[in-house]
A and B are shown apart, each in its own frame.
Chain A
Amino acid sequence: MDLTLKIWRQDNRKAKGRFEIYTLKNISPDSSFLEMLDVLNEQLVSGGQEPVVFDHDCREGICGTCSLYINGRAHGPDDDITTCQLHMRKFRDGDTIVIEPWRAGGFPVIKDLMVDRTAFDQILQAGGFISVNTGSARDGNGILIPKHKADEAMDAAACIGCGACVATCKNSSAMLFVAGKVSHLALLPQGRPEAVRRAKAMVAKMDELGFGACTNTGACEVECPKGVSIEHIARLNREFLLANLKS
């Protein structure tokens, strides 16, 4: 298939960005979206031009590195997938495709389509863990966890930290990301002792780093490639309420 690409180019954090137009011919519908961009970059580099920079690594939807805003949707026009899992068969011959980076105050653009998501790491450093030193844990079956609890915790823990939720939210809120972690750990007996402190610390960090407030639009859930549900935000709110009551 033949395509026209309208891609955001920006030289560095401080530079002003702009859209550039590229054309591509003979792209196989079976290739992935990122393979299509590889073809573009091969062309650019062969012509002595700098390639379009975008983040990617595993290319199988699990590392959370890839992060493109395609035709106005985080991770493009297919559901429940990351950018790297998107295939060209979802487009038509002759299409124009607009490709932008995540746009959010908490995620500054580094270059072209690559953004800085270290704010997510900082939020987790504020308390997104269980404090257990190596070697001090008891037998794994010493803690019984009902299947439905374990499953629910797993649903919340499936987050890959890609940031699509933030990029999609009109308030650039990181609430779904925070709620996923808070919920995952709060659902497990091992995570209860720190549950309240954890929720408070992570939300405070999120606010400090310039992410917006959650107004329950639910857009995040729709674009989450891993289907993390906004029910976890409700759980977070409960933990948070508890935290405020206690302090």
Chain B
Amino acid sequence: MKLNAKIPSGPLTEKWSLYKSAQNLVNPANKRKFDIIVVGTGLAGASAAASLGELGFKVKNFCYQDSPRRAHSIAAQGGINAAKNYQNDGDSIYRLFYDTIKGGDYRAREANVYRLAEVSNQIIDQCVGQGVPFARDYGGYLDNRSFGGALVSRTFYARGQTGQQLLLGAYGALNRQIAAGNIKLYNRTEMMDIILVDGIARGIVTRNLETGELESHFGHAVVLATGGYGNVYFLSTNAMGSNASAIWKAYKKGAAFANPAFVQIHPTCIPVHGASQSKLTLMSESLRNDGRIWVPKEKEDAEKIRTGKLKPTDLPEEKRDYYLERRYPAFGNLVPRDVASRAAKERCDAGYGVGSGQAVYLDFKDALNRLGKNVIEERYGNLFQMYEKIVDENPYQTPMMIYPAIHYTMGGLWVDYELMTTIPGLFSIGEANFSDHGANRLGASALMQGLADGYFVLPFTIQNYLAGQLSVARMDPAKQPEFGQAIESVREWNDKLMGIKGTRTVDSIHKELGLAMWDHVGMGRNRAGLEEGIEKIRKVRELFWSEVRIPGTANAMNIELEKANRVADFLELGELIAKDALHREESCGGHFREEHAMSDGEAKRDDEHFKYVGAWEYKGPGQEPELTREPLDYEFIQVKTRNYKE
């Protein structure tokens, strides 16, 4: 496969403006002649659909939830970055760009990330314009907080509900275009496959989740904004319905999948409580602004705490190990996520964990003394309440327990500078693509990327493609054989699943997959473990295809069939994640290979051999996927070892 990232020439700071001035646009009268399919109504999908609708395109927008407002972006808590430098603390577009590239451990494209930093300021303006109630100070100006991996305060927030408020803003814009007749919304509708005509993306097959009906839809272009694939691991901070099916179906139709092994494990999540656990709850990274992370210095104390013989509040200061502050004096509790997660695992594996042994403390005692309860409540009240409801302990009185959990996927569909995949006419935005975060995403940068893609990048770049499609008339799915065939093959696939009639529930098999992934393709990876993991994943896949049991029929609402479809795809994607992790003989960002560590345990990157994006191409059932490398050339910044110590 040939990969052409289509990075515009010219100096870094001018690439995006040069691109915009030279690209093709579609004239206003012609925009109406184009149908665009947008799958997803999260920050990326809703902002793209609304902006395309405003421009005059005819948009069809899909989501599996009952309402677009419930897309998983709603759950984002902490905030969104922008290079406004309102705090006058030395921030700039360049610094945001630099932090993002460095935070990603030098595995992202310079040109994309610079553009992201460049449009970040406009995002804040747009959201304020829509009525997003960002936090303000007493003078009425926008307030900021700090997030990991940055030395400036550039994160905008709306209490602990930033994602909700940003999504409600985008949803409002979407509603306005629905009312104007520019967007048709299909809720409770799942995309089942992508339709190609002569190798070009021309539509999708969907299943109406209420009636089970299969339908096909035409679009001059198709945009996938379907979010991340963290649920491969069963337990994650993602919503129950978050899935990889849309991007996986695209992969199987020829779209390259980039860096699948780059999965983010978030350091501050509520620990697992037991076997019936269905998902994990994040405690926002913003808590690390004021919370201090520690475990006991002595194993005996840890043991006493675990068995309930000692209360954490009774352990004197000098017997606590604030291990992040100890190991990383410059960034302390605000080191990037991958670093903080590994450090927690290291302490727990060494026997210093609290709770079940798989937990560390996040303590607000000092902040409460310094700032008072009111300030802490104002900043984090809803998070503290959430914690108390789940754990039944009051974090104002006793430190929170946290442990790392699967949270975000940096990998995704490979896209070029225009956000187009390797299938012509198929675009991907938001968490679904691989574009901007390299091997590790910094906090508050996913919301920024989703909205950058949706409001300010895709609505332009898609026109460069559509301008060449003017002669393509709208296709009638009833008359175009590819559409009917696509529906038929989805029907056969569903029938095959329904026909297995085994003895195991979908969830029970999904849990087995999740365990294999967490044990072998989790925070610390090594060759033998990955090879064993791949064997296990294959076995679970065989088990699924011979033993899964789905009651009911495919021609009506069937929640087990919905889950089975998603898990069938996870079972294939899981193997690709493991393969990618196996091939990448280095440690970088969220991908930590135990064989590749420095003597002090820090990650050892190998720029000589792995400074590239690994894009995998599907070669057919039972065939090995093929890897193509997109080299990453850093023209503007100097590639260094990440150092958060000084």
Contacts and interface: CB of A to CB of B under 8 A. Distances in A.
A79 to B, nearest CB: 10
Interface residues of B, number: 83
Nearest to B378: A151
A190 interface: yes
Which of A58, A110, A120, A160 is most buried by chain B, counting CB atoms within 10 A of its CB?
A58
B133 A131 contact: no
A210 interface: no
A62 B164 contact: yes
Contact of A46 (B54, B136, B505): B505
Contact of A190 (B67, B129, B138, B158): B129
A38 B503 contact: no
A58 B74 CA distance: 9
A185 B135 CA distance: 15
A32 to B, nearest CB: 7
A63 B459 contact: no
Interface string B223-248: 00000000000000001110000000
Contact of B274 (A31, A56, A126, A191): A31
A132 B50 CA distance: 11
A59 B278 contact: yes
A116 interface: yes
A34 B278 contact: yes
Contacts of B241: 57
A82 to B, nearest CB: 10
A89 B179 CA distance: 45
Contacts of A125: 175-176, 178-179
Given A134-B173, A140-B124, A147 B137 contact: yes
Contacts of A241: none
Nearest to A46: B505
Given A49-B551, A61-B386, A85-B390, A42 B505 contact: yes
A144 B139 contact: yes
A221 interface: no
A50 B126 contact: no
A171 to B, nearest CB: 23
Contact of B551 (A30, A39, A51, A64): A51
Interface string A77-92: 0101100010101000
B239 A58 contact: yes
B459 A134 contact: yes
B75 A62 contact: yes
B315 interface: no
A35 B277 contact: yes
Contacts of B140: 144-147, 150
A140 B134 contact: yes
Contact of A110 (B455, B550, B557): B557
Contact of B172 (A27, A60, A117, A129): A129
Interface residues of A, number: 79
B239 A63 contact: yes
Interface in B100-130: 122, 124-130
Contact of B130 (A45, A129, A161): A129
Contacts of B65: 57, 63, 65
B560 A45 contact: yes
A215 interface: no
B72 interface: yes
Given A87-B390, A190-B131, A30 B278 contact: no
Given A133-B54, A141-B142, A150-B135, A46 B130 contact: no
A26 to B, nearest CB: 10
Nearest to A65: B70
A131 B210 CA distance: 33
Contacts of A179: none
Contacts, number: 226
Contact of A143 (B66, B128, B385, B551): B128
A153 B158 CA distance: 11
Interface string A168-212: 000000000000000011001011000000000000000000000
Nearest to A133: B54
Interface string A109-150: 011000011101100111011111111111111011111001
Interface in B377-396: 385-386, 389-390, 392
A53 interface: yes
A81 B130 CA distance: 28
B413 interface: no
B279 interface: yes
A140 B240 contact: no
Nearest to A123: B175
A23 interface: no
B556 interface: yes
B67 A120 contact: yes
A140 B142 contact: yes
B175 A121 contact: yes
Given A12-B556, A48-B549, A141-B141, A130 B133 contact: no
Nearest to B64: A57
Contact of A135 (B69, B126, B135, B503): B126
Interface string B195-238: 00000000000000010000000000000000000000000000
A132 B47 CA distance: 12
Nearest to B158: A154
Contacts of B239: 57-59, 63
A115 B44 CA distance: 27
A233 to B, nearest CB: 19
Given A111-B557, A190-B131, A63 B173 contact: no
B348 to A, nearest CB: 20
B69 A64 contact: yes
A42 B277 CA distance: 13
B537 to A, nearest CB: 22
Interface of A: 12, 27-28, 30-32, 34-36, 38-39, 42, 44-46, 48-51, 53, 55-65, 78, 80-81, 85, 87, 89, 110-111, 116-118, 120-121, 124-126, 128-141, 143-147, 150-151, 153-154, 157-158, 160-161, 184-185, 188, 190-191
Given A60-B386, A124-B175, A130-B131, 20 more contacts: A28-B273, A46-B503, A50-B551, A58-B239, A59-B240, A59-B281, A60-B75, A111-B557, A121-B68, A132-B126, A135-B126, A137-B128, A143-B128, A144-B140, A146-B138, A147-B136, A151-B133, A154-B165, A160-B164, A190-B130
10 contacts: A31-B276, A38-B507, A59-B278, A81-B389, A124-B175, A125-B179, A133-B54, A134-B51, A150-B133, A157-B168
Which 4 residue pairs of A and B lie closest in terms of their CB atoms, listed nearest first? A137-B129, A129-B172, A144-B140, A140-B128
